[in-house]
Amino acid sequence: MPSVQPPNVDSIDPTLDLFAEIDRLRAERKAVILAHYYQDPDIQDVADHLGDSLDLAKRARDAKDADVILFCGVHFMAETAKIVNPAKTVVLPDLAAGCSLAEQCPADKLRTFKAQHPDHYVVMYINCSAATKAEADIICTSSNAAKVIASVPADRPILFGPDKNLGAFLIKQTGRKMDLWPGACMVHETFSSQKIAALKAAHPDAKFIAHPECEEHVLALADFVGSTSKLLAYVQQDATPKYIVGTETGILHTMKKHAPGKQLIPVPYEDRTAACQGCNACPHMKLNTIEKIYLALRDLEPRIEMPAELRERARLPLDRMLAIR
């Protein structure tokens, strides 16, 4: 990821109504605002479309009428939007919004693995850079990973990366043996199974639902495991009145809206220091703010750009994923 100056939010006139300005600029720029469920509530509320990684990649690909895609999520998501719809101007409110998984699987290390294991079919979770995607045979998200694994020729050994927790979950779910890249999400790996077990005991009428980026000992306690959109659908459709929600805290905002009668308890995490370095809020997702969204729409910066050759190589494994129904 490029190192860049943070957006200059101090330059914003404090008397501006930023929500009105965002609406004005959205129309003027013919922009569509896409947001992930882990964004702050204010951002979720100004978005044109909210979704999980797969929904948002499809929304970006299908954004025919917009000139600009303002992506409220993290860098790999905005990069994906540019790859699948290169004619659009794609802006990310803060270019520093990265992802621990993407950081842990740089393209040169993956190339080295491939050189040593030329038979492996490389399935990469979408949480990786464009350069890493360009090395993959196919991409998946947590919504479609089992279907993607099922599409891999039976005679090929699989490397799954960068999330070893999602990978371990998929081995159980699909029965397919895979080598796992040793990456993990810095947010989901802080969730404490001991504290979750205590919370379950205190709320015996609650179900525990979890994202597959959680570690195995946490998933072992779950009544349901799924991507963000599947967790949301589960809370809406299931009859239970109470849920302990094992994923990033931003999704509670949308869950409360769509399942207003349900009681939602955020997952307890392990405080790793007194200052809490472990937390259920993603520090990367939370870099985006309403102020930075306003600046991004006003200035059409910071933009996601990449060489055409890289974009085209990264598009192939994404298109293979998007062709799977």
Contact call for residues 248 and 225 (beta carbons, < 8 A): no
Q: One-letter amino acid identity for 297? A: L
Count of C-beta atoms within a 10 Å radius of residue 112: 11
Residue 141 binding: pick among ligand SF4, ligand 13P, none (C-beta 5-8 Å cut-off by kind): ligand 13P
Pattern 9-48, ligand SF4, x by CB under 6 A: ----------------------------------------
Which 274-313 positions form the footprint of ligand SF4 (CB under 6 A)? 282, 284-285
**In the sheet where 263-266 sits, what is the strand order?**
224-225, 206-210, 242-246, 263-266
- Name the minimum Å distance from CB 217 to ligand SF4: 18
CA-only gyration radius of the chain, Å:
20
Q: Go through 280-319 and write b for each residue having 16 or more CB atoms within 10 A of its CB, e for each that does not.
A: bebebbbbbbbbbbbbbbeebebebebeeebbebbbbbbe
- Name the minimum Å distance from CB 317 to ligand SF4: 19
- Segment interacting with ligand 13P (CB under 6 A) among 80-88, 137-145, 235-243, 307-315: 137-145
Contact call for residues 50 and 254 (beta carbons, < 8 A): yes
Which 169-188 positions form the footprint of ligand SF4 (CB under 6 A)? 185-187
- Name the minimum Å distance from CB 296 to ligand 13P: 20
Please pick, from the candidates 228, 249, 254, 289, the single residue that binds ligand 13P as defined by CB under 6 A: 228
- Name the minimum Å distance from CB 240 to ligand SF4: 25
138 scored as a contact of ligand SF4 (CB under 6 A): no
Contact call for residues 84 and 63 (beta carbons, < 8 A): no
Please pick, from the candidates 74, 131, 138, 139, the single residue that binds ligand SF4 as defined by CB under 6 A: 74
In whole angstroms, give the CA distance from residue 291 to residue 72.
Answer: 12
Helix (H, G, I), strand (E, B) or coil at 301: coil
Enumerate the β-bridge partners of residue 266. Answer: 245
- Segment interacting with ligand 13P (CB under 6 A) among 80-88, 138-146, 175-183, 256-264: 138-146
Q: Which residues contact ligand SF4 by CB under 6 A? A: 74, 99-101, 127, 185-187, 213, 248, 282, 284-285
Contact residues toward ligand 13P (CB under 6 A) are 38, 52-53, 127, 141-143, 213, 227-228
